[in-house]
Structure 1
């Protein structure tokens, strides 16, 4: 059984009375609302969905069941939802309660301070709890609240704030961002700001549209913009796209609206016969679904066609119907009332009733003046709105900084950053090339030094080998000299051999030549020797150099022209001079240097 609206109201009041008298019994009972049996907790179903879907589930449940129930019950249910949110530690769900309370008063009390206060509480709560997305959505909702009641400047400000908040989050990360764009587009269109409306609609089409109905609305509004700019062919294209979408989705309301809009274009093109069936369909569908304003607009188009056909009687009857349709309209309809008065005056003139026509003409002029004043007020609000758009001041207590300037500033920062990045890349590449070049030079230099060291090592080995061969000659000379002395040979021959032997002993010149080669192989040897043992003489260093080359006592004796015994004594004397421990040999010490 279906409840009538009166029965629902009576039931709601009865429940409120029962709750105030017997709260215990009501808490244990079940509530019946809109043919739905509601369990003890009015938002029990919300607790059964995932955290990510709770806010949407709560909103859908509220709009379906509690949006039009008595205030006390509605507020009690929403307070219970708030308690549930706190128990679940769900800050987002808790913030939604403020938004739903604002919506309730907007629906049931129209423009009111309670809605404004609750929207602000929702925004503040979201801000305090770092709910960036929720804050942006509530800013948009408050903008829609002001827009619905024609507070256009305030609405514009909140839309600007919400879009800036969406931008900070990232438009791609905002669910249903296409819907928010299309709603703002509708706001601009109603103000006659078709350029901004078109921009918003084009932005909305970049994102996935949640429902086919929203997509139809976008296509239809784009068509209206083209129609307003007298681009009739483009308007027809978009109206037909909207109509096809409506037919595909069996959306009878939109089928009627889109059909009527197509008829309006043909009417503007003076193709009355072609326009008539479209407009008639729109009128019938609008009546069927209770769209009185849209039905009136369609009916006045039919009146104009009857005027052109000289169907005076039918036209006047339709004007009477139009007057009934807009009677006690909750939204401003001065423009429709003005059109009705104008058409009545024209009809009575056609009927040859100048007095009656004059009476309606006077009423028309008064209504037209009022409409002009109303439009002037709207125009002033548009100017204010455009001023807000131009400034976009970034202040918490006043308007935010001009959004366009912020965009340019961000773009400038990005460009500067990009240029710096390019410069850094160029510098990095140049530095990399320099490093690579330096590495190549170092590698080349190392190869050269290695080659030179290798060559010097070979030269030192060759020189050392020559010294050893020299030693063999000296040994040979010594043997010959000894044998000749034993045989009492001629003293002149012995002297000659001694001169030859002396010629192969390391002279000062030979030592200097040898020292140059040795330094190339062991560049720090002499410096380290002098640093560690500062009291050593040049003869001592010469002996240590030969020891570094691992020369034997006999080889050293031959090269220095002394006996092997003399070499041993020189090494003992040198060890004491170097203050070496007894267990450490002079050879071990030199090899470590």
Structure 2
């Protein structure tokens, strides 16, 4: 422990000396004389030079003019060669890549310099730097939403960290936490949790980093409806933030605790936490977090019939996200949804209808966006499983080569050598064939899993439409009873009709259904003759365990019509009285 403290102190002193003396010295009269920016690196110990140079660059040169920045970094290359310091020389490529990423966003120059950094580190046997630069390139692609490429670099980086030995990597917990953040924002909570749990095994640089990691674990539990585990982690994070007097994180964690009570419907407990979260978020300029807190307050006010206060909060929420630099479509959807609920509660049907139309358009875009994110998660998981399979294959290949080499030295007689060689060739062929079959099976399994997800999402979307259709029916009945404007009633009827399963949507539904149950329609027609397309459409909804009400809404008929259709269907299928339609098709 004392050795670690001594090393840390020497590093801090070295870096501070470098930062303090690197840009200027003082004349006798107190005026500053500009010096070569990296001259004082000789005052820093070799093992700390790269970190010192990186810190100084980020503080002073990250956003200066390109020509000047490149000139300073070229001077750093000259200094590194003078010291024969390959680590410092490799860092220059990484810093140039960072400069262009900051100032030109996604660009080919950054990609080129990251590759040069990785190649240089490889050629000069710098495994730790190789891993770090691979990770940095992964972060570059991640920041600009090239998720599949980012994932590939993260996997390569962790493979290199493993070769170095995770315990030998400074700030290993930070690398794990950054990859966890990448998976979390894709919605891949499974892999995010794995990375976060690994991060906790290693020394964490600051209390704030530890609070962030534990809070994210809590959020994953919350998003999975495991509220008690979420609360345990949030309370743990709050105690660490409290001990380190980190008021910003104390406010964030309080808001997360309040969100648990809010989701459980305990608004009285949630209210003080959410108010504190909103105030702290405004204080520290966290507009997105402040908006989320405001929407929760608005929902509580709706439940308590505090209409005026709630509408003011929604107006403020709209202002907070109006010019947001990050995507906030989900928040816009939530604002429109709450507004429609407020106008309904106020009895302003026409105004509510107008908002619902806007809500539906925004929500459709959000569903499409979420579907794309779901596909990204499937791609990531497939990529990870493929990488793991490749690692296993390489290990098996290495073991096979060792066995062949050992066998070669043992064999004395030429005939035995030839026999064993032929045998091994056959074994390798069988293994290769098995690998091809396994690879094909994994591909088919992944495709089936993705199709099942798509069918479930499609079915769930139909069920959500049922809720809208039911709402429209109720409003139409209410408006007709009140002798409301025919135009409003007609709009509602048109909106309702748009959510009923049409022939086009049914064809798309059937196409997805066939991928999951490829023999269903063939077996149905073989087992039960003379069924019409309408009968078969009804049986697919029965197969998906939809109830009469859901089927009625999907097909645009009454519940009584569904019951009669089922009675006619039973006769066509010639079922015994004891056998239900559901039982008859359960095994098909």
TM-score by length of 2: 0.60
Q: State the Cα distance separating 1:186 from its structure 2 match.
A: 1.5
TM-superposed CA distance for 1:254, in Å, is 1.1
Q: 1:253 to 1:63 in 2, by over 3 A?
A: farther
Rounded Cα–Cα distance in structure 2 between residues aligned with 1:407 and 1:180: 25
Q: Deviations over 1:216-237 (max 9, x none)?
A: 1111111111111111111111
C-alpha displacement of 1:391: 1.2
Which stretch of structure 1 is more off in the superposition, 375-384 or 216-225?
Answer: 375-384
SS at match of 2:106: coil
Question: Would the aligned equivalents of 2:24 and 2:32 in 1 still touch at CA under 8 Å?
Answer: no
Correspondence 1:166-181 to 2 at 5 A: 166-181=161-176
Counterpart selection for 2:104 from 100, 106, 109: 109
Query: Which one of the candidate residues 362, 372, 380 is aligned to 2:367?
Result: 372
Rounded Cα–Cα distance in structure 1 between residues aligned with 2:99 and 2:50: 16
Assess, with a 3 A threshold, how the Cα gap between structure 1 residues 189 and 215 changes in structure 2: closer, same or farther. same
SS in 2 for 1:329: coil
Residue aligning to 1:76: 71
Contact 1:212 1:245 in 2 (8 A): yes
Tell me if the contact between 1:389 and 1:403 (Cα under 8 Å) persists in the aligned partners. Answer: no
Paired with 1:223 and 1:255, the residues of 2 have a C-alpha distance of 14
Counterpart of 1:143 in structure 2 is: 138
Q: Deviations over 1:472-528 (max 9, x none)?
A: xxxxxxxxxxxxxxxxxxxxxxxxxxxxxxxxxxxxxxxxxxxxxxxxxxxxxxxxx
- Are the aligned partners of 1:276 and 1:302 in contact in 2 as well (CA < 8 Å)? yes
For 1:85, which of 48, 66, 80 is the aligned residue?
Answer: 80
Distance change (3 Å), C-alpha of 1:81 and 1:386:
same
Cα distance in 2 between the residues matched to 1:135 and 1:80: 23
Q: 1:314 to 1:181 in 2, by over 3 A?
A: same
Aligned 1:6-25 pairs, distance under 5 A: none
Which blocks of at least 5 consecutive residues in structure 2 are unaligned?
Answer: 1-22, 408-588
Counting only pairs closer than 5 Å after superposition, residues 456-467 of structure 1 correspond to structure 2 as none
Change (3 A) 1:72 1:288: farther
Matched, 1:121 2:116: yes
Are 1:200 and 2:188 counterparts?
no
- Kindly indicate whether the alpha-carbon contact (under 8 Å) linking 1:390 and 1:404 is maintained by their aligned counterparts in 2: no
Q: Which residue of 2 aligns with 1:293?
A: 288
- The answer to whether the 8 Å contact 1:306/1:315 transfers is yes
The reply to whether residue 155 of structure 1 matches residue 150 of structure 2 is: yes
Q: Name 1:402's counterpart in structure 2.
A: 390
CA contact (8 A) 2:251 2:277 kept: yes
In structure 2, the CA distance between the partners of 1:92 and 1:364, relative to structure 1 (3 Å rule), is same
Give structure 1 regions of 4+ aligned residues with deviation exceeding 6 angstroms. 28-31, 407-410
- Which of the numbers 308, 324, 339 marks the counterpart of 2:319? 324
CA distance 1:356–1:30, shift in 2 (3 Å): farther
1:384-409 deviations in whole A, cap 9, x for unaligned? 2122112128xxxxxxx723555777
Q: Distance in 2 between matches of 1:38 and 1:321?
A: 51
Task: Tell me, in whole angstroms, the C-alpha distance in 1 between the residues paired with 2:42 and 2:252.
Answer: 39
Q: Which residue of 2 aligns with 1:278?
A: 273
Quote the offset at 1:38 in angstroms. Answer: 8.8
From the superposition, tell whether residues 282 and 83 of structure 1 become closer, same or farther in structure 2 (CA, over 3 Å): farther
- Superposition pairs of residues 92-103 of structure 1, within 5 angstroms: 92-103=87-98
8 Å Cα contact 2:186-2:376 kept in structure 1: no
Conservation of the 8 A alpha-carbon contact between 2:187 and 2:373:
no
Q: CA RMSD in A?
A: 2.9
Please give the alpha-carbon distance, in whole angstroms, between the structure 1 residues aligned to 2:392 and 2:291: 41
Hey, what's the Cα distance between the residues in 1 that align with 2:39 and 2:81?
A: 14
Segments of structure 1 that go 5 or more residues without pairing to the other structure are 1-27, 394-400, 421-593
Tell me the distance in 1 between the aligned counterparts of 2:376 and 2:170: 31
Secondary structure at the residue paired with 2:35? Answer: coil
Alpha-carbon distance change, 85 to 272 in structure 1, aligned in 2, over 3 angstroms: same
Bigger drift between 359-368 and 384-393 goes to 384-393
Q: How does 1:148-547 map to 2 (within 5 A)?
A: 148-392=143-387, 402-403=390-391, 405-406=393-394
What is the aligned partner in structure 1 of residue 54 from structure 2?
Answer: 59
Q: 1: distance between equivalents of 2:142 and 2:232?
A: 29
- What is the match of residue 129 of structure 2? 134
